Every structure is written in structure tokens, then in C-alpha cells.
Structure 1
Amino acid sequence: MSRHDTRPRRGLPFVFAPLAAALILAGCASSRGLAPEGRALDADALVAQRSFADAALSDAAFPRADWWTGFGDAQLNALIEEALAGNPGLDAADARVRQAVAQAGLADAARKPTLGASAQYSGLQLPETVAPEPLGGKYSGVEVLSLSFKYSPDLWGGHRARWRAALGQARAAEVEAQAVRLSLSSNIARGYVSLAQAFQAQDVALAEKRRAEQLLALGRQRVKAGLDNQLQIRNAESASAAADQQIQSAQQQIDSLRNALAALLGKGPDRGLDIARPGALAAQAPAVPAVLPSELLGHRPDVVAARWRVEAASHGIEAAKAEFYPTVNLSAIVGLASGGLSDLFTRDARLIQGGPAISLPIFDGGRLRNQLAGRDADYDLAVANYNQSLVGALREVADALQAARSLDGQLASAQQARDAAQQAWQIASTRYRAGLGTQLDVLAAQRPLLQLDQQLAGLRAQRLAAGIDLDRALGGGLPVQASDPVAPLSERSDSSSIHAIAKAPTP
């Protein structure tokens, strides 16, 4: 074999030896010993059967999207619809969604080849003091027309992982925008219930004012007749002043709640003045789905968004790991270049440049390892937030359900007490009309009746608020986007169910 024939074969190992050594170094120094520690909770492991034992269970007990219509108040329905159409907070949430979608689009674009065209003219004249003739003192120009092509093949899946991480963040932002809508509607419903209670408290205060005035007038008559002393008058004056304070307090609360509702609508305080007194609101019997707690994952926007962020963080780990491996960049330029327009489109003006470029991470001062460690920490934080959201969601359901059950019992007891007080007041009135009792007896019997009316109004408002909290805790009936979930690192779950995402294994 000739020396000419052996040179390429002897030279080939010398050409690839540095590449092989770099690959070995990069692989050995990569991600060894780095891994996330977080583990997502299994919802079925959160036992809640005894807490929900006394609740009405149903396969269809998740709220409807318009759950607030169950209160039977047309004005409340109109207020929530108005808020959902024009609240600035919703505009901000929607802007965050568009921002996240744009970031996902940028990550997707980075995976694809690019092709660009350019036209350039460049001129140069060197002074003769720098370069003698024929170079110096002569102006030369070059016209260039070119097409440039760039592409970085995704050999290790890093580009795809970055795109799917950004996509997961975008989906989380979409679900969080739904959570903002749920929070807005529930806050309006709660404010409306509080407004109804404030009007009822004002009614009781006005009734107490009338009772105190009757006591004051009766006391003055008795003192004038020598049947009583000033103590009765002073007590009546105190009760009248206290009733005035309660009336003013109730009016201040009414004004404040109207302002709050107007702000939730995205309007000025004058809009609140147009909100009429709420009518009687119906409190529905509390019920929870029989599939809790596992199916809660697919109905709570905050839990779903937290899981999407776990998925995004897992793909962030993939992208960070891909940084440890060599990258290949393909580029090419094809065009025409000439010193004059007349020669630009001739065969001799052809310009061709291109080829692959390989870059290898060998020693980087620990940048890649720290970057991967940061992605691992991001994942652990996302898992912790998800676990916290899941546990908190189940606690909110239990709290709302238990509160509703307790308040139903308290309302029943308070209603019994009120019925007894009503009968006592009727008996005192009957005795007074028959000449067997005094007007003082009637007014004294009226006081516990008014106190129980105020107590009942507060308990009814709390019961309505517990129903709102339960609807909110169960997800508010919002249609959570559950299609095409982002699978975890190992691509082990392609299910289109959010429930499957929530149970997917973590890296």
C-alpha cells in the first residue's frame, strides 16, 4: 500500500480523537449526582371519607359554570355577568396568558430552521498614507445578494423540552386566568350576601329605635305620673342612642359594600348607588361529588395550573440536561457578490459558504451543573406548590361542607328560639290588650325577638357564604382545559385527562 493511500486512514483517528475525548469528558462531567427530590402527592392517598360521611354524595355534585344562579336573584346574575365582561383584573390575566403563549411561540420557533434574504452594498477607500497604490487612494465597492440558512438539529431533545416547558407555562397561565374569573364571581356573590345582611341589620336597628322611642315616651309618662323615676328614662335614652349608632353603622356598611361591588365590576362608586337592595337569597343543601378527592384535580383551576407548572419544570430539567451534550449547527449562505452591478448576475459572481459546526461543553466552571441544579430546585418548588394546592383544596372543601352543616344546625336552633320569642311577645301583647299586663311587658318581650332577628340574619349570611365557598372549593364549574397534556420527562403519560397528569410519575 502506498504512502499516499495510508495517510487518510492514519489521519482519521487523529481527527476524531479530540471529539471522542470531549464526548467522554462531557458525559462524565455532566449531571451525575443531580436529581430533583420532589414527589407529587397522590390525591387518593388524602383520606377524606369520614369528613364527608354525612354529606350528600352525588356523581353530578360539581357546580355548574353559572353556579350563582342557584341563589335565585336576577340582580346578582346581572352583576356577575357584567363583571366577567369588564373587570380590569381579567384583562391583566388575559394579558399574562398572551404573554405566556408568545413565549411558547418563541420556544417553538427556536426548534425550526430559518431562512433569510439580504442585500448589501459595502464600499472602502484606504488612504495612501496607510497603503500605497494600487490599493491606497482608490475606492472599491461590493454588492452582495444572499440567502442564509441556519438550523440546529435537536439531537438530544433540548429544543423540544424548552418548547414544552414554555407550553406548560402557557397552559398554566390559561388555567390561572380561569381561576381569576372564579375568584371574581365568588367575591361578588359574597359581597352581595354581605349587602343583604347589612340591609337586614339596618331593619333590626330601625325596629330597635322605634322600641326605644316607645320606651322613652312611656317612661316620661310614668315619671310625670309619679309611677317611676328617672332610671327608666335614662335607660330608654341609652337604648335610643345605641340604636342610632347601629343604624349609622349599617348604612356605612351598605355604602362600603356598594363601593366594593362597583370596584369588582370595574366601575366607579356611582355604579354602586344603582345596586338595589338584594331580595331573599336561597341557600342550597350542601353536596359533594362521590369521586372526591381524586376528581377534584380536574376541577380546581389552581390545582390544575400548579400541575401544569410541575410539567413545565420537568421539561426544564430535560432542557438543562441536553446542555451537557454537543450541539450541531448547520449554516449556509448562497448568493451573488460583485464589485459592479454589471457583473453581479454572472456565473463568476456566485458566493457559496456553509457547513456544520460542532460545539462541546468540556470545562465551564460549573455553569451547566449549577443550571441543572437550579432546574431541579424549580421542579421541587413546583411540586411543593402543587402538593400544597391539593391539600389546601381538599381542606377548603371540608371546611365549607362542615361550616354549611354546622350553620344549618345553628339556624334551626336559632329559628326555634325566635319562634319562642315571637310567641312570648304575642302573649305579652294579648295580656296588654286584655288589661292583664303593661306596655312595658310588651316592649321588654320585643327586645329578645329583635336580637334573634339580627342573629338569624347573620347566620343566614354565613350559611350563604359557606355555599359560595363550597362552590368555589369544588372549582366553580369552570371548563378547565385538559387536552393534550404535557407528559413528564420519560413521556410515560399521553392521556388527555388532567387526572392522568396529576397522577403521572415525577422524574
Structure 2
Amino acid sequence: MNTRNHQPSTRGTATLHISKYTSIAVLLGALSGCAFSDLTTSAHMREPQGMEQTLADSDLKLSAAAWPSETWWTSYNDAQLNALVAEALSGSPTLRAAAARVHQANALEDIQGASLLPNAEIGMSVTRERFSSNGTTPAPAKGTWQNVHQGTFNLGYELDFWGKNREAVRAAVGRRHALEVDERAASLMLSTSVVQAYIALQDNYEQLDLAQALLDQQEQIEKLTQQRFEAELGTQIDIKQSQAALPASRANIAALKEVIELNQNKLASLLGKGPDRGRTITRPRMRASSTVTLPTNLPAELIGHRPDVVAQRWRVEASGHEIEVAKARFYPNVNLTSFIGMQSLAFDTFNDHSSRILGVSPAISLPIFEGGRLRGNLDAQNAAYDLAVENYNQTVIDALRDIADQIASLRWLKERLAQQNEAVATAQAASDLVSSRYAAGLATYLQVLATQNATLAEKRQLVTLKSRALSLQANLSRALGGGYRPQIQPDADVTSTAAKKS
């Protein structure tokens, strides 16, 4: 009888050992789950709600297609503004820093994703070694110095039974997506800042026009006062009063020119350029839209249009996966390593078939006593998740308030503009009447001065309200997400994508 046929092969023995290790790992894993069952999260995500009455009372047109476009600033019909925003988005250090953070997150995701794949390496070594005379090394090598030549191909793989590595990759993907959305949010804030600074610059120029028109009028009245004095219809006091108003008006014009230059510097800074770039920015020619339209599907779709809300949602997603990673650390690690290669004391026999070496090494490690480190880590991840959820909830609340503020302001701006136009017309009529009476010698210069100041104040307020109309439209576009459309929702399965990248 050939007994060799009844001996288990080396390969069969290794498979049997691996199966035993796997069974042990599953058993130990079942026991480990009891160590953290009392640690849970407490926060819950809120969905945006409570905008229905605000929309109904807004007196603004509602449309399902009213979400802003990605280039929402083009609605102002100002070619220079379009060029400035494009320049800012292409040259801003802030956006380049955001892009660098996304690049860094991509690299970290690649590093984390490598844990899902086998690890292979080639090792070559020559070791000068003295073998023990009383060890396992046989004669003639024992008790002598020898060179040990070894070359191996090593392969290692962690059997991710509990999903620790997969969840870590999911968390890395979530953090990367959050930073990508942060980059979009930074772009939105930058474009909004450029538009708002441009609106302020236009307001400065229009206020300068009013101040210059007032100065021209005052100079005409000063000449008229001189003529009245020469015709013995006025006094020296009237002349001094008319002359006294001129320096104040010129000082006001100088102050407005200063503000214009400061706003040009601000715009140059937003473009990522020096102050000289601001000197080339000419007078804005923006026009406010006659109609403002709101989306009818607020607030249900708000979480998909506001980049700050989407970014926080991705952070919640990443924190949830980090909890799963922390839980998996309670379970045993199961690693499988193997090697194949050549080993020889003499270099000339290194390539002989008899010098080959081969080994397989399954290993299981289970934390027994770690001083509460694993429970503390899981508890910290639970707290981080709760913090991410509450940050998300607060971001949603702030987003709803932001939109409601813009709606409320737009709602009342129409009435304010109507009343202000009437106030300007009334003040201008009074000023014209008093000026005519003054030319005819029927009014005093103080009356002229009073009506001029009143008219100027009303016109300034009207210019401010018109600039506010432009600003509110920009703020509404920003509050509605500025044309952002997420390509991947936070709840999507992204594990396979991360594994492929690694």
C-alpha cells in the first residue's frame, strides 16, 4: 500500500490552517461586538422646511426654473463686470489654495484606498552573519561567519472582514467631496464679492454725479447772487453764504473720488492683482432686472443647490464612515502574507533550484487590554458625528434665514423705491420753485440752500436704493447657491471608485 497517497499536501495543509484562522476570526469578531454596543450617536439631521408662507407673501414671481445660472452675474448686462469676474476666478490665490486642498485630499484618498489592494514588493539582501555553534544551523556552517544571499517576492493582504479599510476609504471620499464643494463655495463667495464691490463702485460714481450737479448749481446761484448784489437786490451776506457752500461741496466731491479709488483697489485685490489694475477699471454700467423670480420648490431642493449645505452633508457622511472604522478596530485583524524566493550561503549556488524558499503566514491579532483606547476613539468619533450633524443643521437654518432675508428686503424695496421717486420729484419741484423765486428776488438764499440740501438728500437716498436693488439680486443669487449643481449626492456608493483610483 502506498502511504504517500494518504498524506495531506502542503497546499492542502495551508488551506486548512487558513480556514481555521478564518473561523477563529469570525468567532472572536462576534465576541468583540459586545465591547461597544452602549456607545451611540444622538444627533439627527434636519431637512429644510418652513418657507411656504414666506414664498406666498413675497409678492415675487415663482417658477420651478428660477434657480440661478452658474454665470448669474451676466444678468446685469455689463461686459466689464463679466470680464472682472472671469479674471478673479482664474487668478485668485484663495481659489488656488482651495484647489490645492482638493489635490491633497485626492492624494490622501489614494493612500487610504491602497489598503483595499494586495501589497507586493521585491527584496534583495546580503547578510554577513556568524551562526551559533549550538543553534539549529548544521555543520559546516555552524560556528562560522557566512554570507547569506537572499532574494524574495513578498505578497501581503489584509482580509478586511469587518470593512475597516472600506469604511476608511468611504470617509476619505467624503472628505474629498466636501473640499471640492468648499472650492465651489469659495468661487461663489469670490464672484459675489466682486459683484458687490462693483455695485458699490457704481454707487460711488452716481453719488459723484449728484455732488457735481449740486456744485454746478451752487456756482450758478453764486453768480446770480453776485448779479443781484450788483443790482442792489441782495446783500454782502448773501454773497458770503453762497460762497461758503462751494468749498463744502468740493470737499464732498474729493471724498467721493477717494472712495472710488479705494473701491478700485478693493476690486484689484479681489482679482489677485496690484493697485494699478484698479486704475484701469472704468465706470460700471449695470442695470437691475425689472423682475425677480423665486424657485417654487424651495426649500425641498435647497440642500442640492447651496454648496455650503452640500459640503456639510458630505462631512456628516464622512463622519459616519469614521464611526464604522472605529467599530471595526474592536474586531481582530486578519492578515495573509506569503513569500517566494531564493536563499543561499554561497553566491554561486544562489540560482540553484534547491535554494528556493517559500512561505505562507496567516496572522490574527485581537486587542484584549488597551486601557479604554478603542472605546475612547469610538466615543470621540460619535461626538465628531454629532458635531458634524449639528453644524449641518445650523448651516441649513442659516441658509433658510439668508434666503428669507433677501426675500423680505426685495418685497419692501419696490414700495420704498416708489415712495422715494415721489419724494425726489417733490423735493426737486420745491427746489426749482424756490430758485425761480430767488432769481426774481422773492426768496432768500437760506431758502434756496435748504431746498438744495433736501433735494440732494432725497436723490442720494434714491441712488442708494437703486444700488441696493442690484445688491439684493446678487445676494439672492448667492443665497440660492449661485448656480451650483452637485454631480454626486452624499449618499452615493463611492467605494468602488476609490478602490479603482488606488
Q: Structure 2: where are the runs of 5+ without partners? A: 1-16, 134-138, 496-502
Q: Which residue of 2 aligns with 1:260?
A: 266
Q: Residue 349 of structure 1 aligns to which amino acid in structure 2?
A: S
For 2:436 and 2:233, locate their aligned partners in 1 and report how far apart those are by CA, in whole Å.
Answer: 23
Q: Alpha-carbon deviation of 1:248? A: 1.9
1:100 aligns with 2:102: no
Q: Tell me the residue number matched to 1:36.
A: 41
Q: Is the contact between residue 175 and residue 481 of structure 1 (CA under 8 Å) also seen in structure 2?
A: no
Measured against aligned partners, the alpha-carbon deviations of 1:47-74 in whole angstroms (never above 9, x if no partner) come to 1122221332110110011111111111
1:462 and 2:465 correspond: no
Residue 83 of structure 2 is matched in structure 1 by: 78
- 1:90-169 pair list within 5 angstroms: 90-124=95-129, 139-169=145-175
The residue matched to 1:334 in structure 2 has which SS?
A: strand
- Note if contact 2:427-2:451 (Cα within 8 Å) is conserved in structure 1: yes
Q: CA deviation at 1:484?
A: 7.2
Q: Which residue of 2 aligns with 1:496?
A: none
Residues 314 and 490, structure 2, Cα contact 8 Å, conserved in 1: no
Partner of residue 201, structure 1:
207
Distance 1:202 1:307, change over 3 A: same
Tell me if the contact between 1:284 and 1:467 (Cα under 8 Å) persists in the aligned partners. no
Task: Check 1:144–1:394 CA distance in 2 against 1; reply closer, same or farther (3 A cut).
Answer: same
SS of corresponding position for 1:94 = helix
For 2:280 and 2:92, how far apart are their aligned partners in 1? Answer: 18
1:439 is displaced (CA, Å) by 8.7
Query: Hey, what's the Cα distance between the residues in 2 that align with 1:484 and 1:444?
Result: 63
Counterpart position of 1:62 = 67
Q: Of the candidates 25, 47, 50, which is equivalent to residue 50 of structure 2?
A: 47
What RMSD over aligned residues (CA atoms) do the two structures have, in Å?
Answer: 3.0
Q: How far apart are 1:340 and its partner, in Å?
A: 2.4
Deviation sequence 1:147-169 (CA, Å, 0-9, x none): 11111111011111110011001
Give the paired residue count. 468
Change (3 A) 1:458 1:271: same
Q: Distance in 2 between matches of 1:50 and 1:245?
A: 49
How many Å apart are 1:337 and its aligned residue? 0.9
Moved more, 118-127 or 48-57: 118-127
1:381 match: 387
Among residues 167, 177, 197, which one is paired with 1:191 in the alignment?
Answer: 197
Deviation at 1:341, TM superposition (A): 2.3
Whether the 8 Å contact between 1:97 and 1:174 is mirrored in structure 2 is: yes
**Structure 2 residue corresponding to 1:295, chosen from 295, 301, 311:** 301
Q: Residue 305 of structure 2 aligns to which amino acid in structure 1?
A: H
CA contact (8 A) 1:164 1:312 kept: yes
Residue identity matched to 1:177: E
Shift in Å at residue 175 of structure 1? 0.8
What TM-score do you get using the length of structure 1 for normalisation?
0.85
Asked if 1:398 corresponds to 2:404, the answer is yes
Residue deviations 1:158-204 (CA, integer Å, cap 9, x gap)? 11111001100101111111111111111100000000001111122
Question: Is 1:477 matched with 2:483?
Answer: yes
Is the 1:286–1:401 Cα contact (8 Å) retained in structure 2?
Answer: no
The answer (yes or no) to whether the contact 2:54–2:404 under 8 Å persists in 1 is yes
Q: 2:364 aligns with which of 358, 361, 364?
A: 358
Structure 2 CA distance for aligned equivalents of residues 18 and 283 of structure 1: 71
Contact in 2 for aligned 1:311/1:487 (Cα 8 Å)? no
Residue 142 of structure 1 and its aligned partner are, at CA, apart by 1.8
**Stretch moving more, 72-81 or 449-458:** 449-458
For 2:208 and 2:267, locate their aligned partners in 1 and report how far apart those are by CA, in whole Å. 19
Q: 1:32 deviation in Å?
A: 2.4
1:414–1:456 CA contact under 8 A, matched in 2: yes
1: CA distance, partners of 2:268 / 2:461? 28
**Alignment partners' CA distance in 1, 2:64 and 2:396:** 20
| Cα separation, 2, equivalents of 1:375 and 1:163 | 16
What runs of 5+ residues in structure 1 fail to find an aligned partner? 1-11, 492-507
Shift of residue 237 of structure 1? 4.6
Matched, 1:339 2:345: yes
Deviates more, 1:198-207 or 1:309-318: 198-207
Give, in angstroms, the shift of residue 240 of structure 1. Answer: 2.5
Displacement after TM superposition at 1:431 (Å):
5.7
Q: Is the CA contact 2:332–2:366 (under 8 Å) kept in the aligned structure 1?
A: yes
Structure 2 residue aligned with 1:5? none
Which residue in the other structure is 1:278 paired with? 284
Change (3 A) 1:19 1:259: closer
> 2:92 corresponds to which residue?
87
Shift of the alpha carbon at 1:127? 13
Cα deviation 1:267-323 (Å, max 9, x = unaligned): 111111000011142234222111001101100000001101100000111111111
Give the AA of the match of 1:268.
G
The amino acid of 1:319's aligned partner reads V
Query: Which residue in the other structure is 1:6 paired with?
Result: none
The separation in 1 between residues aligned to 2:29 and 2:132, in whole angstroms, is 50
> Post-superposition shift, 1:438?
5.7
Alignment partner, residue 495 of structure 1? none
Question: Which of 334, 345, 349 lines up with 2:355 in the alignment?
Answer: 349
Aligned-partner residue type, residue 463 of structure 2: A
Q: CA offset at residue 452 of structure 1?
A: 1.9
Once the 2 structures are TM-superposed, how far is the Cα of residue 118 of structure 1 from its aligned partner? Answer: 1.7
CA shift at 1:390, angstroms? 0.7
CA shift digits 1:32-51 (9 cap, x unpaired)? 221111100022xx211222
Q: Hey, what's the Cα distance between the residues in 2 that align with 1:27 and 1:451?
A: 74
Change (3 A) 1:151 1:51: same
Contact 1:114–1:150 (CA under 8 A) maintained in structure 2:
yes
Q: Which amino acid aligns with 1:83?
A: A
CA offsets, 1:384-405, max 9 Å, x none? Answer: 1110111111111111111122
**Deviation per CA, 1:460-499, whole angstroms, max 9, x where unpaired?**
11111111000000000123222573469xx9xxxxxxxx
The whole-number CA distance in structure 1 between the counterparts of 2:120 and 2:470 is 62
Amino acid at match of 1:52: L
User: What percent of counterpart residues are identical?
Assistant: 38
Cα displacement (A) at 1:330: 0.6
Q: What does residue 243 of structure 1 align with?
A: 249
User: Which residue in 2 is equivalent to 1:327?
Assistant: 333
Q: CA deviation at 1:138?
A: 5.8
TM-score by length of 2: 0.85
Structure 2 CA distance for aligned equivalents of residues 299 and 107 of structure 1: 30
Query: Which whole-Å CA distance do the structure 2 matches of 1:417 and 1:223 have between them?
Result: 33
- Contact residue 162 and residue 316 of structure 1 kept, 8 A: yes
